[in-house]
Structure 1
């Protein structure tokens, strides 16, 4: 035991220890991260949830700022195409992720079924059903992207609205505030 404590002393002396002050907000009770819980309704910020996160971005603010940079119709159209292309790339990534996850689930269902783990297989089948529903939603996102409808259109409309607000802001700042 003396041998290990000799090395620990050298290691501790080499790195200074900084005291941490407790703030009124900090508590000694650990917080539970609900994303780490195992359940059908809990997600791990993968798959379809990446698409939802992308669509919930502040496209209006982005459009407003882009209009302040370059209030040009061509610039706006290019950025709208980029938004759609980024979403298309994301949809393809999610589809690949879902396909891989489905293969993993099928393997585990078959192998755990052969091992006689009935409850585990039933739980995996529930996850598989949820995954199939997510795959169907991703297909709907892909279709709505192609037809410019649904939730995908929300990003485009928000960007256009922000761009128009930016152009209006430029006009109000430079022309309407001037006295004749």
Structure 2
């Protein structure tokens, strides 16, 4: 009888380690998709244009401030401004490549699902395609703004310059304005 209780105890501990099952009224596919959807709308996947938005929302002011404390030189500042622009340009090229590839995939699926007669699915794909075209247009706008130093791209530059100037002012206040004559 002692052996049977040992086996029963091992069986009970294995049940604790198992993955919880999906409730009967919810299909397994919808349980998996629950993380990627919110009220039926897809949540962006941190790809495409959202990478550009994330880059532009960085704290460039703190970066400029710290750079000024490292080297309060105008040449150093100008080099870092160029690096910010080059990084954004690289990111824009990556996003354009991603969008081009995604557009090809969507077009392939539209044509193949159209031949299969999946009308509703084709309509959903066409909606995704129009959203993608809108994103591509916005990326082109970012690219033009980067070349002319306008728009949201200018925000990063101004923020960095402001931080750099604050850093230089901080150096002056710390070393010279606190000294007594």
TM-score after normalising by structure 1: 0.80
Structure 2 distance, partners of 1:174, 1:33, is: 58
Change (3 A) 1:49 1:70: same
Structure 2 distance, partners of 1:65, 1:125, is: 47
Structure 1 distance, partners of 2:98, 2:176, is: 51
Please tell me whether the aligned partners of residues 65 and 165 of structure 2 are also in contact (alpha carbons under 8 angstroms): yes
Which position in structure 2 is the counterpart of 1:152?
153
Which position in structure 1 is the counterpart of 2:67?
66
Change (3 A) 1:110 1:61: same
Structure 2 distance, partners of 1:135, 1:41, is: 18
Shift of 1:97: 0.2
**2:129 is the counterpart of 1:128:** yes
How many residue pairs are counted as aligned between the two chains? 153
- 1:16-35: CA deviation from partner (whole Å, max 9, x where unpaired): xxxxxxxxxxxxxxxx9976
Which position in structure 1 is the counterpart of 2:36?
36
Change (3 A) 1:118 1:158: same
- 1:70-97: CA deviation from partner (whole Å, max 9, x where unpaired): 0000000000000000000000000000
Please tell me whether the aligned partners of residues 109 and 124 of structure 1 are also in contact (alpha carbons under 8 angstroms): yes
Structure 1 distance, partners of 2:78, 2:140, is: 25
Runs of 4+ in structure 1 displaced over 6 angstroms? 32-35
Counting only pairs closer than 5 Å after superposition, residues 90-129 of structure 1 correspond to structure 2 as 90-129=91-130
- 1:36-78: CA deviation from partner (whole Å, max 9, x where unpaired): 1175552100000000000000000000000000000000000
Structure 1 distance, partners of 2:78, 2:103, is: 37
Structure 2 alignment gaps of length 5 or more: 1-9, 11-31
Q: What is the SS of the residue equivalent to 2:96?
A: helix
TM-score after normalising by structure 2: 0.79
